[in-house]
């Protein structure tokens, strides 16, 4: 332990160094600095807390906006819908193509029918029949001039030969056409 006398002596030596006014001022200044520091720290803390609240609101808004709403399909459902729409589009395109092909064939058929109608409108069966009759009459006249006169009711041909003889040749069903033709010309030439 330190003797009391030495302690008193040390205090006396230190007395000129200790100034209570100066120490008081130093303590007051220190307290003011602590108060300023505390106020500054509190202000910074409040600002940080305020920024934290604002960032929390931004984070929550971002979370809400990044969350898929119930009205929007999931990725799998969206992909399935796209696939369905693609297959529907392809089947519709095929149906349209088939319908266009059918339309083209119907239009071609219509064009042919229009041409046929036009030719039938121009065609006069009476005139054609007269032409056929005229041709038949001319042929019969030529046959008669050559010496052949067909008798249709009896299925025979009367042949007048160059010598003036008249021959009757029956037209049978079983007789070949070349044989009858040859016989007719032989009789006509005799």
| pTM strictly above 0.85 | no
What is the domain range of residue 146? 126-189
Q: What pLDDT is stored for residue 108 in this prediction? A: 93
Separation of alpha carbons 60 and 53, rounded Å: 10
Determine the Cα–Cα distance for residues 64 and 88; give it in Å rounded to an integer: 35
Does residue 133 belong to any structural domain of this protein? yes
In a domain, 63, yes or no: no
Residue 44 pLDDT exceeds 70: yes
pLDDT of residue 177: 66
**How much is the pLDDT for 96?**
94
Place of tokens 């029949």: 129
Flag whether 99 is in a domain: no
162 within domain boundaries = yes
CATH number of the CATH domain containing 133: 3.30.160.430
Q: How far apart are CA 155 and CA 152, in angstroms?
A: 5
Please provide the DSSP assignment of 132-185 as one string. Answer: HHHHHHHHHHHHHHHTEEEETTTTEEEEE-TTS-EEEEE--SSS-HHHHHHHHH
How many separate domains does the chain show?
Answer: 1
Average pLDDT along the chain: 84
In a domain, residue 75? The reply is no
Within a domain: 157: yes
């Amino acid at each position: 332990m330190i003797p009391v006398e030495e302690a008193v002596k040390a205090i006396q030596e230190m007395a000129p160094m200790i100034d209570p006014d100066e120490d008081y001022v130093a303590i007051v200044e220190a307290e003011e600095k602590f108060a300023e520091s505390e106020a500054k720290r509190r202000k910074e803390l409040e600002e940080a807390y305020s920024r934290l609240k604002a960032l929390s609101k931004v984070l929550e808004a971002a979370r809400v906006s990044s969350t898929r709403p119930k009205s929007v399909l999931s990725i799998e459902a969206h992909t399935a819908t796209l696939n369905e729409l693609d297959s529907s589009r392809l089947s519709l395109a095929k149906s349209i193509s088939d319908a266009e092909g059918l339309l083209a064939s119907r239009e071609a058929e219509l064009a042919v029918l229009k041409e046929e109608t036009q030719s039938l409108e121009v065609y006069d069966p009476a005139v054609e029949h007269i032409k056929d009759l005229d041709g038949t009459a001319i042929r019969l006249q030529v046959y008669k001039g050559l010496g052949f006169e067909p008798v249709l009711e009896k299925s025979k041909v009367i042949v007048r030969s160059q010598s003036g003889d008249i021959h009757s040749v029956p037209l049978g069903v079983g007789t070949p056409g070349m044989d009858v033709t040859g016989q007719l010309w032989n009789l006509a030439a005799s």
